[in-house]
Amino acid sequence: MAGTLRSRLPSLEQTVINGSQLLGVGGFFIALLIFFSFRATHFAESSNVLNILSNVAVVGVVALGQAFVLISGGFDLSVSGTVPLGGIIYVTACNDHYNMYVAGGLAILAGIGVGLANGLIITQIKINPLITTLATLSIIGGLAFVVSNGITITLNNPNQAPLGLNFAGVQIAVWLLLALSIGMFLILRYTVFGRMLYAMGGNREAARLAGLRVDVVTTTVYMISGGLSCFAGVMLANQLLAGAPTVESAANLQSITAVIVGGASLTGGTGGIPGTLLGALVLGTVANGMTLMQVPTFYQEIATGAILLLAVGLGWVRGLVQHAVWKHSREDQIAQAAIAGVVEDVSPDLNPTGGG
Amino acid sequence: MTHPARAGLVVPLRLEARSLNKRYGAQVALRAVDFELAPGEAVAVVGENGAGKSTFSKILAGAIRPDSGELRLDGQLLELRSPREALRAGISYIPQELAYVPNLNVADSLLIGRWPNRLGFTTRAAVRKEAARVADEFGVELDVRRPVSDLRLAERQLAEILKALARRSKVIVLDEPTASLTKEETLNLFRVLRGLCRAGVGVIFISHRLDEVFEIADRIVVLRNGAAVADVPTAETTTAQLIEHMLGVAIVRAERDVQAETAEPSSTQLPTLRVIGYSRPGLPDIRNLNFELRRGEVLGLFGHRGSGADVVADGLGGRIGDFEGRIECGGKEFAPFKNPGEAKRAGIGYVPPERKRDGLVLGMSIDANISLLVLERVSHAGVINRHTEQRQATEWRNRLAIRSKSVKQSVESLSGGNQQKVMLASRLEVHPIVLVLNDPTRGVDVGARAEIHKYLKEEATERGTAVLWITTDAEEAVIVSDRLLVMRDGEIVGELRSAAKTQANALALATEEVASTAVAG
């Protein structure tokens, strides 16, 4: 019957629209790999591939938390403070002869604490997430300097850095990123909590009216982001055998870029873990390839910015496609709304649209 | 008072519309509407929901273009392609919801874009002086130094009218301006409007409230199903006649005598929902509401915008707080709800009026939206059972005839009526004891509307759900309800049952203060 055939079409339509971003980024990633394989010496060697992966591991873990925050309609700039803080706490605790698991636990707890503070300020005092996390970024960044006296603290006992070691030829930090990604992917896709994030990011008031505890979920999301960032800091300390207040100062922009490149929107409700990982890989590959081509670091920053714009531009194109697909049904709705007299205000809307 | 234009004097018309037509697809919004407005005249346009008032005013405002017909201002043919052109021609439209630049003060916003200047430089003093002069000229008392964001709605409205005057508008169209005003603010607005008429400005006043129409208008135009069915001088008509015109049926006088209808308790069982001493300060003040609702009953709550009926709905849905009183639901007693979760746990399913803004997550699929309120039921240990979710959505899709290609389709891609059904399904899936509907068929086409009516009646009779149906549409209120409460200015002014439950009675109660004594339940 034609009916059964037609009933399959929409999901196809939907898949094409949703998948276009991933396909686009995937294609871009492959193009990058091909380009650098030819132009950058040693790029395609296995040792360099492993190098890229271990570099991506830290930002990748931060980006996983950032993905949760962005999907739920928030924003976490403070990760650039929590990453070094996590590393410093870990190294300081280890040097004070704490067990490394205890040291790691302390670091993660500190990150969760930062997230709790972010969440409470955002939900209870109702300050915009951008401003809140900008302020906590400054505070936590300063705190990292205070704790470390502004200097790099080296890890006295290199045995306390197992995450920098290899397992089956690949660094343990990379395995951890993979494991965390799978876990987060399953949470987003299959659990009530994941569904709540998409609902809140898609329409916060509808989620609230549906009886979801949006404040609790929002706070939890920032706690996850804080905890993961500090854990990323621990991973970095394991790789560097040291903790310093100045590391990963661009973690916030890089993680946000990774999530957006992976198909999320700044207004929330969209995005996912595979895209985020792909986004992080794109950024890591560009940085690595350009370093091998001996391009100065500031050009890398220019490239990162260009990639972000490109990703947002792709999102815009995707929006146009959706609009074209659904234009017809929208026109119907507008016509009906007009008859019922609920057409929007005709006076020029001078209200600046709320940011964030 | 007879206006000079009507008294045989030859006064050129300020605004003239000839056979305006507008249709949306198969639906006719306006058919061959003629309209005249003399300088200094105040004309009210009244009609039921969907009669074409909004379309008419939006054509004047330049927001909608008519399919055919012509518009003349001071004898000159107008071709309005945008609100901007209407403004430039001299027609100011003042909508219900006012947009404004929050950080400007009244003087700045009044003269926005036309600040008095010398070579592009302007001073606060010069702006303030000019603004104060405009305010003075029309007898509007408003401190022009105050920031617009600090103004109350009534003051913002006055500021908006002043803005129109500063532009030297010839015609001012006000769309239900008094819906959210207090009595005093309304009187003040009328005083200003009369001043405008004396200055030769034409005023078009779109309203639901017939008592106010009688107070302000020289002439009343009634729209029904898109056609102008009456055009009468105010002095020569009555509320009853207007309601007859609006509904297209004659009122049977005897129906007004409702006291004969004694309240007969339909069963001995306890009410499912009892609302006791429900009050809340606001606009309007909700004052000491008491009503009850039985199993399987559809109780209508009808009131025009600003009557407070929607506030009651929001309160019972836990969307807004600050209520006093008690609520008994399903045999348990509750303090007024402070958040939506409390209302949901008490067994109330709340359907908000604006599905896109408040009811649905548009980017999510149909099945995800339907399970949004029952996530704990479609999941086990926090993991959603997608199979259960899809089966549940498919059942609703069949039961409510939701026209979609699959339940995985995003809600955004559905038509308004089908979106509404998805929202209803999400609320019904909770199996509420009481379903509170706040204008559930707003912006929904006729077909889907009838389906929704039919389904909700079934829900009440077959499942025994008690339904509280809040609406601004008198026709709908009468059709769907078993019993109908009418609200006005924050109070329940009457209860209509069986034979007395007519549109005419409902409208009379909602619009006319005197009626409340005659038909009090």
Q: What is the pLDDT of residue B135?
A: 82
Model pLDDT for residues A259-316, shown as the tens digit of each residue: 998 888 888 898 999 999 999 999 999 999 999 998 888 888 888 888 888 877 776 7
| Count, residues in chain B | 521
Is position B307 within any domain? yes
Is position B336 within any domain? yes
Confidence class for position A339, pLDDT limits 50, 70, 90: very low
Cα–Cα distance for residue pair A97/A156, rounded to 1 Å: 10
Asked which of A289-298, B158-167, B336-345, B373-382 is least confident by mean pLDDT, the reply is B158-167
DSSP string for residues in A256-320? HHHHHHTT--TTSS---HHHHHHHHHHHHHHHHHHHHTT--HHHHHHHHHHHHHHHHHHHHHHHH
Cα–Cα distance for residue pair B345/A341, rounded to 1 Å: 35
Domain end call among B151, B168, B185: B168
Q: What is the pLDDT of residue A352?
A: 35
Is position B295 within any domain? yes
Which of A 249-288 lie inside 8 A of B, CB atoms? 269-270
Q: Give the 3-state secondary structure of B203-228.
A: EEEECCCHHHHHHHCCEEEEEECCEE
| Count, residues in chain A | 356
Please state, rounded to an integer, the average pLDDT across all residues of chain B.
84
Mean pLDDT, range B160-165, rounded to an integer? 81
Model pLDDT for residues B429-481, shown as the tens digit of each residue: 999 999 999 988 876 776 778 888 888 888 888 888 999 999 988 888 888 89
Q: What is the pLDDT of residue A323?
A: 61
Cα A270 to chain centroid distance, Å, stands at 12
Cα–Cα distance for residue pair B497/B90, rounded to 1 Å: 48
B142 plus B175 within the same structural domain? no
B314 plus B437 within the same structural domain? yes
Q: What is the pLDDT of residue A326?
A: 55
Asked which of A10-24, A241-255, A264-278, B397-411 is least confident by mean pLDDT, the reply is A10-24
Range of the domain at A262: 50-281
Range of the domain at B457: 270-347+432-521
| C-beta atoms of A338 and B29 within 8 A | yes
Q: What is the pLDDT of residue B397?
A: 93
Is position A331 within any domain? no
Is position B252 within any domain? no
User: What's the CATH number where B235 sits?
Assistant: 3.40.50.300
Is position A304 within any domain? no
Cβ within 8 Å of residue B165, ≥6 positions away: B134, B137, B138, B196, B201
Task: Please count the structural domains in chain A.
Answer: 1
B439 plus B514 within the same structural domain? yes
Q: What is the pLDDT of residue A322?
A: 63
DSSP string for residues in A69-95? HHHTT----THHHHHHHHHHHHHHHHH
Of all residues in chain A, the one with the smallest CA distance to B30 is: A339
Strand partners, B228: B223
Of B100, B371, B408, the CB nearest to A14: B408
Of all residues in chain B, the one with the smallest CA distance to A203 is: B361
Task: Tell me which DSSP letter residue B377 carries.
Answer: T
Is position B4 within any domain? no
Least Cα distance to A86 among A243, A224, A222 occurs for A243
B203 plus B64 within the same structural domain? yes
Please state, rounded to an integer, the average pLDDT across all residues of chain A.
85
| C-beta atoms of B99 and A333 within 8 A | no
Of B24, B58, B368, the CB nearest to A195: B368
Asked whether the predicted pLDDT for residue A13 surpasses 60, the reply is no
| C-beta atoms of B361 and A212 within 8 A | no
AA letter at B446: V
B191 plus B334 within the same structural domain? no
AA letter at B373: L
Specify whether the CB–CB gap between A259 and A84 falls below 8 A: no
AA letter at B474: A
Of all residues in chain B, the one with the smallest CA distance to A330 is: B415
Asked which of A67-81, A242-256, B143-157 is least confident by mean pLDDT, the reply is B143-157
Asked whether the predicted pLDDT for residue B288 surpasses 70, the reply is yes
Interface residue B27 vs chain A (CB under 8 A): yes
Cα–Cα distance for residue pair B88/B97, rounded to 1 Å: 21
Confidence class for position B210, pLDDT limits 50, 70, 90: confident
Percent of chain B topping pLDDT 90: 36
Is position B260 within any domain? no
Cα–Cα distance for residue pair A148/A92, rounded to 1 Å: 8
Mean pLDDT, range B195-220, rounded to an integer? 88
B359 plus B341 within the same structural domain? no
Q: Which residues of B touch A2 (CB under 8 A)?
A: none
Q: Which residues of A touch B408 (CB under 8 A)?
A: 10-11, 14
Least Cα distance to A144 among A78, A54, A68, A71 occurs for A78
Q: What is the pLDDT of residue B512?
A: 67
Highest mean pLDDT among A215-229, B27-41, B208-222: A215-229
Q: Which residues of B touch A349 (CB under 8 A)?
A: 99
Asked whether the predicted pLDDT for residue B102 surpasses 70, the reply is no
Q: Which residues of B touch A206 (CB under 8 A)?
A: 357-361, 372
Is position A10 within any domain? no
Is position A179 within any domain? yes
Q: How far is B363 from chain A (nearest CA, A)?
A: 6
Taking the CA atoms of residue B473, residue B479, residue B481 and residue B486 in that order, the dihedral angle to the nearest 10 degrees is: 40
Of B101, B373, B413, the CB nearest to A350: B101
Specify whether the CB–CB gap between A103 and A93 falls below 8 A: yes
Handedness of CA B235, B241, B243, B245 (dihedral sign): negative
Output phi, psi for B325, to 5 deg. Answer: 115, -165
This prediction has a pTM of 0.77
Q: What is the pLDDT of residue B10?
A: 59
Q: What is the pLDDT of residue A324?
A: 65
Is position B95 within any domain? no
Q: How far is B71 from chain A (nearest CA, A)?
A: 19
Cα–Cα distance for residue pair B49/B319, rounded to 1 Å: 25
Confidence class for position A26, pLDDT limits 50, 70, 90: confident
Cis geometry, peptide bond prior to residue B336 (ω within 30 degrees of 0) = no
Is position B374 within any domain? yes
Specify whether the CB–CB gap between B328 and B276 falls below 8 A: yes
Is position A151 within any domain? yes
Supply the ipTM of this predicted assembly. Answer: 0.81
Q: Which residues of B touch A333 (CB under 8 A)?
A: 415-416, 443
Q: In the numeric block, which tokens belong to residue B82? A: 């945008």
Domain end call among B115, B147, B168: B168
B423 to B71, B391, B455: CA distances (angstroms): 41, 17, 13
Asked whether the predicted pLDDT for residue B516 surpasses 80, the reply is no
Q: What is the pLDDT of residue B521?
A: 39
Domain end call among B137, B168, B199: B168
Task: Please count the structural domains in chain B.
Answer: 4
Of all residues in chain B, the one with the smallest CA distance to A329 is: B415
B206 plus B146 within the same structural domain? no
Highest mean pLDDT among A223-232, B242-251, B407-416: A223-232
